Amino acid sequence: MNSNKLTNKCAIITGGGSGIGQAISNQFALEGAHVNILDINPENAISTAEKIITQGGQANAFQCDISDHDNVKEIVAKIQAENERIDILVNNAGIAHIGNVENTTPDDMDRIYNVNVKGVYNCLNTVTPIMVKQGEGAIVNLASVASKLGISERFAYSMSKGAVYTMTLSVAKDYIDKNIRCNCVCPGRVHTPFVDQYLEKHYPDNRDEMFEKLSEWQPIGRMGKPEEIAKLVTFLASDDASFITGSAYDIDGGTTLLR
């Protein structure tokens, strides 16, 4: 069931064609939003949008490389022209990397920075002026437990998610008098196709054992579900959260507090 929290809201969701982003796109559509899915993979974006439309929702799909500032500006301009306003921005797109400071190469750092940090900047830099002009807006960034905790073998990834967390605080502070709210969510490990692909590639002979080990890393004893993250993001993007800005919400099965 849905409560129409986002009726007639124009939303941009980066990485909205798969995993957590897809769940956010679906939930936003259920809540009445006009969903604009930006994804590097056009097939994922189109498939997700088509499914939303067949279920009675509103969605558009755009191939977009968020690390390319000009590409972001081009797509956002199209969305603004079509909808006249942009009410919600969800910076979800991101990539992962495993490694410590010694075995993380300069190329690794650049790759992670360009998507996870500069990509978020590109979207914030492009959409925030639109929200200022229209007099309101809500931004939700996907950070991570790695924004707050020291996690083994996540040097570059933690760097990037720490940046997402602090960019959230900065935007919330700078635009609080412009009626623009900016918050972030900090998920723990979430069961997405990425996890399944990772296990299949690296642990084909003991996949189930490793899945259980990854699940038990969260004190609650399981991974999160994309739909659980999506519902929190929906709340933060909605008017129900109108008194919330500059906050980082842990959604990690007790990892931050109990490990």
Q: Which residues are catalytic?
A: 157
Q: Which residue has the tokens 């798969």?
A: 18
Count of Cβ atoms closer than 10 Å to residue 181 Cβ: 25
Token digits for 195?
């996890």
Question: Can you tell me the distance from the alpha carbon of 189 to that of 214, in angstroms, rounded to the nearest whole number?
Answer: 8
Residue 77, CB-side half-sphere exposure with 13 Å CA sphere: 6
Region of residue 98 (phi > 0: left; psi between -120 and 50: alpha; otherwise: beta):
beta
> Buried b / exposed e across 86-125, counting CB within 10 Å, b at 16+?
bbbbbbbbbbebebeeeebeeebbeebbbbbbbbbbbbbe
Count of Cβ atoms closer than 10 Å to residue 200 Cβ: 10
Helix (H, G, I), strand (E, B) or coil at 227: helix
Question: Can you tell me the distance from the alpha carbon of 138 to that of 124, in angstroms, rounded to the nearest whole number?
Answer: 11
